[in-house]
Amino acid sequence: MTSEQQHPANHSSHSSNHDEAKPLGESFETQSSSISPHLTLSHCGTPNATMLSSRIVRAAPLRTAALAVRRLPLIQTRTFLPESMVGRAKLDEKYPDSDYPKLTAAEDPEMNGGYINPPRVKRQFRDPHADWWDKQERRNLGEPVHEDNDILGIFSTYEYTWISPGKGLAQIGAFIVVFLGVVFTVKQVYPDRVSYPREFEGGLVRELGGEGAIRARMEGDEDP
């Protein structure tokens, strides 16, 4: 007696379940015709394990297609904000070109939108004892700021004006002349150290390697 005769109820229920799942299987079969032989394995052997492996095989193409759809493009995305927030139309709406003055080259020679700069005077050269509103910056309230204020402010690089470049070079040259003069004078006046080469007994012939070796100075040699 076969297993199908012993358990007709199980077989009938399994067949009904298989018939109910048939539309899902048919949808997978339309994608891959090579897996259709596995459908017959669900009626014999171990149906649950066979159906699970079949579903895994059938789901592989779908999973690959889903990953391909979710994959980002190769081109780098600068922002994920929608065009309604960062698009060109939105920027033109927020910052219209009509707000910027359209001036000719004669009307705007400094190309700063027609801004009238105050006199280019470094704050360092302003009177430190004057009645300024801002004592530290030497500036009054509401006073226009020069567009180069970063190099004209009080905290910019200090400009030394107490000496001219020519005078500075003359002072450096005088220092060099005086230094070399002192060195030459000391060399001419300061006496050399009185010294005489040392003499060794026998010229250290044996100590330096014996006959034929270069010996040291010994008594009786000529004066150097």
Per residue in 40-91, pLDDT tens?
Answer: 444 444 455 556 766 765 666 666 666 555 555 555 556 677 888 878 888 8
Residue 187 domain-assigned?
no
Residue 113 domain-assigned?
no
The C-alpha atoms of residue 29 and residue 22 are separated, in whole angstroms, by: 10
Residue 7 domain-assigned?
yes
177-223 pLDDT, tens digit per residue, is 999 999 999 999 988 777 778 889 988 988 998 888 888 988 888 87
The C-alpha atoms of residue 189 and residue 178 are separated, in whole angstroms, by: 16
Average pLDDT of the chain is 75
Where on the phi/psi map is residue 142: left (φ > 0), alpha (ψ -120 to 50), or beta? left
Residue 33 domain-assigned?
yes
Q: By C-alpha distance, which of 134, 178, 141, 169 is closest to 155?
A: 134
Residue 24 domain-assigned?
yes
pLDDT of residue 17: 45
Helix (H, G, I), strand (E, B) or coil at 130: coil
pTM recorded for the entire structure: 0.36
Report how many domains make up the chain. 1
Residue 169 domain-assigned?
no
Whether the per-residue pLDDT at 154 is higher than 80: the answer is yes
**Full residue range of the structural domain in which residue 21 is found:** 3-70
DSSP state of 135: T
Q: Which residues contact 4 (CB under 8 A, 6 or more apart)?
A: 11
Residue 51 domain-assigned?
yes
Q: Do residues 41 and 54 make contact, with C-beta atoms less than 8 angstroms apart?
A: yes
Residue 149 domain-assigned?
no
Q: Tell which wins on pLDDT, 120 or 99.
A: 120
pLDDT above 90 coverage of the chain, percent: 30
The C-alpha atoms of residue 201 and residue 218 are separated, in whole angstroms, by: 6
Q: Do residues 159 and 152 make contact, with C-beta atoms less than 8 angstroms apart?
A: no
